[in-house]
Amino acid sequence: MKFAVIVFPGSNCDEDLYKAINLYTDEDVEYVNYKETSLEKFDAVLIPGGFSYGDYLRSGALAKFAPIMKAIKEFAKEKKPIVGICNGFQILTEAGLLPGSLIRNEKMQFVCDTVDLNVVNKDTKFTSKYAGKETIQLPVAHGEGNYYCDEETLNKLKKNKQIVFTYKENVNGSVDNIAGITNEDGNILGMMPHPERAMDALFGGVDGIHLFKSLINNR
């Protein structure tokens, strides 16, 4: 399986994602610059956290116009797996590839911590290696991680089992404690917590590795 790690101006978790694949799996991984226009040789796309384009206007609002986004949308249409983490999640919502939006944290403060998450749906290609109804720990680091959607969209997310992760304690004000969702087809995951920062017990935990192993197992 060959992974693409998209690099935008201002990305700062791209190296973390690269090393998560390179050091902890047997799969191939390659950086892809935001100016590229093709993802033909890749099997999965990872969109990292950071501050793409300095978070001007809104987080992810400018990144959606980058040349690579056309290829990402084509990738999505082919139902190939895409994971957007933190700023990557924001980019996916801004681009219309996931419903809802990410707004300023409820207390208007940047949150940087390790948090408890509920694995709400393990029957996805991103979570099959987790136990059902499992509680895991992953780091968060964001100022605009407050997931918002209207009631109709929330009901649709629940009905289609698109809510994948929720916060055990709501750290940012997200509706229904939502920390991660998929699209209706189940091939796109957006999440605010950072699984790529929980790959080794030496650095505080290993709960993130199961997300990538799930994806590889469901290739």
Q: What is the pLDDT of residues 50-65, one digit of tens each?
A: 999 999 888 999 999 9
- Name the residue among 195, 71, 87, 217 with its Cα closest to residue 137: 195
Domain boundaries, the chain: 2-217
CA 113 – CA 21 distance, rounded (Å): 23
Active-site residue (options: 142, 144, 149, 194): 194
13 is a catalytic site residue? no
Average pLDDT over residues 115-130: 97
| pLDDT at position 219 over 90 | no
For residues 8 and 34, the answer to whether their CB atoms sit within 8 Å is yes
CATH of 2-217, one of 3.30.830.10, 3.40.50.880, 2.40.50.110, 3.30.465.10: 3.40.50.880
* Per-residue model confidence as pLDDT tens digits over 161-196: 999 999 999 999 999 999 999 999 999 999 999 999
Average pLDDT over residues 79-96: 98
CA 129 – CA 92 distance, rounded (Å): 24
Residue, of 219 and 197, whose pLDDT is higher: 197
Average pLDDT over residues 88-117: 97
Active-site residue (options: 86, 94, 144, 149): 86
Identify any residues that bridge with 5 across adjacent strands, giving them in sequence order: 31, 46
| pLDDT at position 133 over 90 | no
Q: How buried is 61 (Cβ within 10 angstroms: 0-12 exposed, 13-18 middle, 19+ buried)?
A: middle
Q: pLDDT averaged over the chain? A: 97
Cα–Cα separations (whole angstroms), residue 45 to 25, 52, 166, 167, 180: 15, 17, 23, 25, 17
| pLDDT at position 204 over 90 | no
User: Residue 140 CA to chain centroid, in angstroms?
Assistant: 12
Active-site residue (options: 94, 142, 144, 196): 196
